[in-house]
């Protein structure tokens, strides 16, 4: 036995070498604990149980534990980091999930500063390639940018001028009149050329990680505004810089800084509010009793947990309807392409965007995005080659690396893209705690909703709400700026 907690519960050291490897925290391995007698159901207590060990969960746990709150993180997967996952390909660190960060994303940049991490600039392509009604067009990257900018100006039209005047974090306030609409609705009703439509379809299907017909116009409007309402600003903020060494470096730094317990391979199936506190039950029948629970799992996985009492109105609707991303990201190592390229295709194409990520002699690594994960089998190199060839006919595919985030039971989608009407009808409610239950995660962020930054923002908020609840105060609404919907 390695440790008996203050409630007398015995714990033993987790013997899982890759987790130890992964965390590179040899001196702090005692933090990774499993209850003794795993396999038989057991119960344990903590002040706060955090469900999910992505950025939201580990930031909440760090904040709480650094203030002396006894915190345990229950994570379904056998690793931390959630929808971020750094891997090595041909000597390059690649990200299968969340990758890019920026100094206009205040929460993640504060973490980068706090741990003294470095940023790595992604390549700036010199050639643009785009598909319009089956016709492949190529030119200097600046030509592609100019065409996209012109199309975006028409697309956003006058409303954006009005919305730009509003410096509000309230989801509902500036946009309720637009929140019924999808990107496709706007494409269909704006005076655009075929080329404009093809370019915007590729751009928004990439940003929304789904077809334009299901992507919320308002979700995309927020990207646009947060990026400073310029194409350069949005591209820099969402695709310009990565953390040197990978997002795993930041995960490790946060975990090493905190003083909380982590249970890997521990899927939660039930969350039950009791007369005092809350009970969390896992798939193996173990239970954890705590004063407060912070649930940070992705929106599209929430229906897998049995909440008792059932989640209230807007939260229940969010869990039922989920968020809309259903696309793919792949890392493709290829040869035969001499230039650094940015390529776009409409949302009907298996790949809506291909971008050079690194160049290594005659080879390069490209990041590919697509609107539907079910449209292309990424393990079939011939199918991938056929899709790439419509944009880069000369490419020779060497290797493809990806993760099926949509099929994965712990994500059921990629980054959060709130569905039409959810910004005005659901977003603010998601941030309100229900008794001892607090909801966090990228879907609940006020600012960069759907990003690493938003996950961190939500973890900070959840920790604040949890401390408030532990102090016996109602953890009231936490919307930073609330207004009356128009
Ligand atoms: C392909 C892809 C590309 C992306 N690109 C970017 C990008 O470039 N920049 C950016 O900022 N963001 C990007 N994102 C989004 C970013 O990765 C996420 O917004 C962020 O990581 C979400 O963190 P989170 O903690 O809210 O959720 P998650 O990281 O999903 O963490 C939730 C955790 O809960 C666990 N879990 C789920 N169900 C259970 C259960 N029942 N019991 C216990 N644990 C459970 C999951 O395993 C997971 O670890 C991308 C995401 C993907 C998938």
Indicate which CATH number applies to the domain containing 166.
Answer: 3.90.660.10
Q: Whose CA is nearest to atom 5 of ligand 1?
A: 98
Domain count, the chain: 2
User: 141: closest CA among 339, 347, 329, 336?
Assistant: 339
Cβ atoms within 10 Å of 242's Cβ, excluding its own: 22
Pocket test for ligand 1, best of 412, 415, 440 (most atoms within 8 A of CB): 415
φ and ψ at residue 29, rounded to 5 degrees: -60, -25
Residue with tokens 């392409």: 337
DSSP letters of 52-98?
--SHHHHHHHHHHHTTT--EEEE-SSSSS-TT--EEEETTEEEESS-
Q: Which residues of 399-435 are buried (b: 16+ CB within 10 A; e: fewer)?
A: ebbbbebbebebbbbbbbbbbbbbbbbbbbbbbbbee
Region for residue 39 given its phi and psi (left: phi exceeds 0; alpha: psi -120 to 50; beta: otherwise) = left
What is the predicted pLDDT for the residue at 105? 97
Q: Which residues contact 383 (CB under 8 A, 6 or more apart)?
A: 376, 377
In a domain, 456, yes or no: yes
Query: Any residues with Cβ below 6 Å from ligand 1, and which?
Result: 51-57, 74-77, 82-84, 97-101, 267-268, 296-298, 301, 304-305, 329, 405, 410-411, 414-415, 441-442, 450-453, 455
In a domain, 118, yes or no: no
Do 369 and 421 belong to one domain?
Answer: no
> What span, in angstroms and rounded, lies between the C-alpha atoms of 423 and 418?
7
Give pTM, 2 decimals: 0.91
Which of these three, 386, 404, 422, is where a domain ends? 404
In a domain, 116, yes or no: no
Q: Which residues contact 485 (CB under 8 A, 6 or more apart)?
A: 172, 173, 176, 424
Do 279 and 336 belong to one domain?
Answer: no
Grouping H, G, I as helix, E, B as strand and the rest as coil, residue 300 is: helix
Q: Which atom of ligand 1 is nearest to the CA of 416?
A: 19
Indicate which CATH number applies to the domain containing 24.
Answer: 3.50.50.60
Do 309 and 441 belong to one domain?
Answer: yes
CA–centroid distance, residue 82 to ligand 1 (Å):
4
Do 223 and 334 belong to one domain?
Answer: yes
CA–centroid distance, residue 298 to ligand 1 (Å):
7
In a domain, 117, yes or no: no
In a domain, 160, yes or no: yes
In a domain, 90, yes or no: no
Strands 71-74, 43-51: pairing kind: parallel
Do 296 and 313 belong to one domain?
Answer: yes
Q: Whose CA is nearest to atom 35 of ligand 1?
A: 52
Q: Which atom of ligand 1 is nearest to the CA of 80?
A: 49
Q: What is the pLDDT along the chain (486 residues), one digit of tens a residue?
A: 233 333 443 333 332 333 334 443 333 333 334 443 445 677 788 999 999 999 999 999 999 999 999 999 999 999 999 999 999 988 999 999 999 999 999 999 999 999 999 999 999 999 999 999 999 999 999 999 999 999 999 999 866 665 655 445 555 555 667 889 999 999 999 999 999 999 999 999 999 999 999 999 989 988 998 998 899 999 999 999 999 999 999 999 999 999 999 999 999 999 999 988 999 999 999 999 999 999 999 999 999 999 999 999 899 999 999 999 999 999 999 999 999 999 999 999 999 999 999 999 999 999 999 999 999 999 999 999 999 999 999 999 999 999 999 999 999 999 999 999 999 899 989 999 998 999 999 999 999 999 999 999 999 999 999 999 999 875 444 444 344 333
Do 234 and 257 belong to one domain?
Answer: no
CA–centroid distance, residue 16 to ligand 1 (Å):
23
Q: Which atom of ligand 1 is nearest to the CA of 296?
A: 32
Do 338 and 443 belong to one domain?
Answer: no
Do 332 and 466 belong to one domain?
Answer: no
Do 303 and 165 belong to one domain?
Answer: no
Do 78 and 153 belong to one domain?
Answer: no
Pocket test for ligand 1, best of 73, 74, 82 (most atoms within 8 A of CB): 82
Which of these three, 404, 434, 455, is where a domain ends? 404
In a domain, 133, yes or no: yes
Q: Which atom of ligand 1 is nearest to the CA of 325?
A: 53
Do 186 and 231 belong to one domain?
Answer: yes
Which of these three, 404, 423, 438, is where a domain ends? 404
In a domain, 171, yes or no: yes
Pocket test for ligand 1, best of 72, 78, 98 (most atoms within 8 A of CB): 98
Q: Whose CA is nearest to atom 12 of ligand 1?
A: 451
Q: Whose CA is nearest to atom 38 of ligand 1?
A: 410
Do 391 and 418 belong to one domain?
Answer: no
Please answer whether residues 438 and 406 qualify as being in contact, where contact means their C-beta atoms are separated by less than 8 angstroms: no
Find the domain containing 217 and state its range. Answer: 123-239+328-404
User: 403: closest CA among 28, 5, 82, 73?
Assistant: 82
Pocket test for ligand 1, best of 83, 95, 247 (most atoms within 8 A of CB): 83
First to last CA, the chain: 60
CA–centroid distance, residue 279 to ligand 1 (Å):
24
């Amino acid at each position: 036995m390695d440790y008996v907690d203050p409630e007398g519960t015995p714990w033993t050291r987790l013997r899982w070498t890759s987790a130890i490897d992964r965390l590179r925290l040899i001196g702090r391995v005692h933090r990774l604990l499993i209850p003794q007698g795993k396999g038989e159901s057991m119960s344990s207590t903590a002040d706060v149980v955090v469900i999910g060990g992505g950025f939201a969960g580990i930031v909440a746990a760090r904040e709480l534990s650094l203030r002396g709150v006894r915190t345990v993180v229950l994570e379904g997967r056998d690793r931390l980091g959630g929808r971020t996952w750094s891997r090595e390909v041909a000597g390059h660190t690649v990200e299968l999930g969340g990758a890019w960060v920026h100094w206009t994303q205040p929460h993640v940049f504060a973490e980068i500063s706090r741990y003294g991490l470095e940023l790595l600039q992604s390549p700036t392509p010199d050639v643009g390639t785009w598909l319009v009604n089956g016709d492949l067009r190529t030119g200097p990257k600046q030509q592609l940018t100019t065409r996209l900018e012109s199309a975006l100006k028409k697309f956003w039209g006058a409303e954006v001028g009005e919305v730009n005047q509003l410096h509000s974090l309230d989801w509902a306030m500036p946009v309720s009149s637009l929140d019924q609409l999808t990107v496709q609705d706007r494409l269909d009703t704006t005076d655009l050329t075929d080329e404009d439509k093809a370019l915007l379809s590729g751009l928004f299907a990439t940003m929304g990680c789904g077809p334009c017909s299901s992507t919320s116009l308002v979700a995309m409007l927020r990207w646009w505004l947060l990026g400073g309402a310029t194409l350069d600003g949005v591209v820099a903020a969402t695709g310009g810089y990565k953390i040197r060494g990978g997002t795993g470096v930041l995960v490790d730094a946060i975990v090493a800084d905190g003083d909380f317990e982590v249970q890997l391979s521990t899927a939660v199936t039930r969350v039950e509010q009791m007369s005092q506190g809350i009970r969390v039950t896992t798939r193996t029948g173990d239970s954890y009793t705590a004063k407060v629970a912070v649930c940070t799992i992705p929106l599209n996985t929430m229906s897998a947990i049995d909440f008792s009492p059932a989640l209230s109105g807007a939260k229940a609707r969010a869990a039922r309807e989920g968020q809309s991303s259903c696309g793919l990201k792949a890392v493709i190592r290829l040869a035969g392409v001499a230039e650094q390229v940015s390529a776009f295709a409409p949302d009907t194409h298996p790949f809506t965007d291909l971008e050079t990520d690194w160049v290594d002699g005659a080879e390069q690594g490209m990041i590919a995005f697509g609107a539907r994960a079910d449209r292309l089998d990424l393990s079939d190199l011939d199918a991938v080659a056929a899709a790439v060839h419509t944009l880069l006919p000369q490419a020779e595919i060497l290797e493809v690396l990806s993760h099926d985030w949509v099929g994965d039971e712990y994500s059921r989608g990629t980054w959060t893209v709130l569905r039409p009407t959810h910004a005005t009808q659901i977003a603010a409610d998601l941030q309100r705690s229900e008794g001892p239950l607090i909801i966090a995660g990228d879907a609940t962020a006020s600012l960069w909703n759907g990003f690493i930054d938003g996950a961190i923002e939500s973890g900070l908020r959840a920790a604040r709400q949890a401390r408030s609840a532990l102090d016996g105060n109602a953890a009231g609404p936490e919307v930073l700026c609330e207004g009356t919907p128009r």
